[in-house]
Amino acid sequence: RPIGGTIAATVLAAFTPIATPAATAGVVQVAQHRRLPPAAAVAALGVAAHAVQGLVDPNPAISYEWWLLLDVAVYGALLGWGALTRSRRELLASLRERAHRAEAEQGRRVAEARAAERRELAREMHDVLAHRLSLVSTYAGALEYRPDAPPEQLATAAGIVRQGIHEALDELRQVIGLLRENDTADDDGFVPTLADLPRLLEEARRVGQSIRLVDERAEAAPPVSIGRTAFRVLQEGLTNARKHAPGLPVEAVLRGEPGGRLLIELRNPLPPVPAGNGSGSGLG
């Protein structure tokens, strides 16, 4: 409460110089935390109090007129100092608020631009996939309605169907990768790569799966995209082994060098009895 404390110190300063430091410091505090009109009123009260002090306890070193002049100058300087500090603090707060607003606006614009880009990309990919699948459907219909065609034509049509499906899957994979946010991130927010392979093996062994890892890769780590894909391949392979060959050991082999291919092999013995049908969601 700077105003009340400063007024009390100022009243005391009218009768004793001991209260002068507290009164002058209080004027600065009031000017720093309150608007100019109340701060100017407190400073005027301080001038009046020290004018009374000059009458009650005159200073023999200077005349009373010089005392009043110094009194007004000091309080004017204190008032200006406090007001300047307050203005600077408000300016900094205003600049910080503007920076936060600008950052939020920039983030919103970026999000809107990305959403618009995804919508445009989805429309384009819809047209491309529709065209590709219509060609596949045409050739597949020819195979169905002309089973008596020459083997060369049947092989050509089957190859076109296979190539069209392969290209459609590649294009669909690209658009899904672009449209889905955090597609490969786990629940805790990080993207697993081959560096997280020990964690994957430990989780599998914890549920009783026997795994033998043969890692013949070079020391250099693969790119993040390759490491992420390899991690998912191993994860899916171990899942299929638990589902289709429960209780049997699994051998995982990794081979590769920088600039070459990364080979992933997962092997397990045949189960003694046929396993049940899968859910249709995996690779098996």
Q: Are 238 and 205 a contacting pair, CB within 8 Å?
A: no
User: Which pLDDT value is given to residue 182?
Assistant: 47
Q: Is the pLDDT at 280 greater than 90, yes or no?
A: no
Q: Is the pLDDT at 184 greater than 50, yes or no?
A: no
Radius of gyration of the chain, Cα coordinates, nearest whole angstrom: 41
- What band does 181 get if pLDDT is binned at 50, 70 and 90? low
Q: At what angle do helices 64-145 and 20-33 cross, to 10 degrees?
A: 30
User: Which pLDDT value is given to residue 191?
Assistant: 64
Task: Report the C-alpha gap between 111 and 104 in whole angstroms.
Answer: 10
Residue 11 tokens read as: 């009243």
- Higher pLDDT, residue 215 or 1: 215
Q: Is the pLDDT at 114 greater than 90, yes or no?
A: no
- Higher pLDDT, residue 138 or 56: 56
Q: Are 200 and 238 a contacting pair, CB within 8 Å?
A: yes
User: Which pLDDT value is given to residue 192?
Assistant: 76
For the chain, the average pLDDT equals 78
The residues pairing with 216 across neighbouring beta strands, listed in sequence order, are 255
Q: Is the pLDDT at 265 greater than 80, yes or no?
A: yes
Q: Is the pLDDT at 167 greater than 90, yes or no?
A: no
The upper half-sphere exposure of residue 195, i.e. CA atoms within 13 Å in the direction of its Cβ, equals 9
- Higher pLDDT, residue 229 or 220: 229
Q: What is the pTM of this model?
A: 0.37
User: Which pLDDT value is given to residue 130?
Assistant: 66
Proportion of the chain above pLDDT 70, given as a percent = 83
Number of residues that this document lists for the chain:
284
The upper half-sphere exposure of residue 215, i.e. CA atoms within 13 Å in the direction of its Cβ, equals 13
User: Which pLDDT value is given to residue 238?
Assistant: 87
Pick from 21-25, 101-105, 158-162, 177-181 the range whose average pLDDT is largest.
101-105
Task: Report the C-alpha gap between 179 and 121 in whole angstroms.
Answer: 8
- Higher pLDDT, residue 101 or 8: 101
User: Which pLDDT value is given to residue 250?
Assistant: 92
- Higher pLDDT, residue 276 or 192: 192
The closest of 176, 252, 168 to 209, measured between CA atoms, is 252
Residue 71, classed as helix, strand or coil, is: helix
User: Which pLDDT value is given to residue 180?
Assistant: 61
Q: Is the pLDDT at 267 greater than 60, yes or no?
A: yes
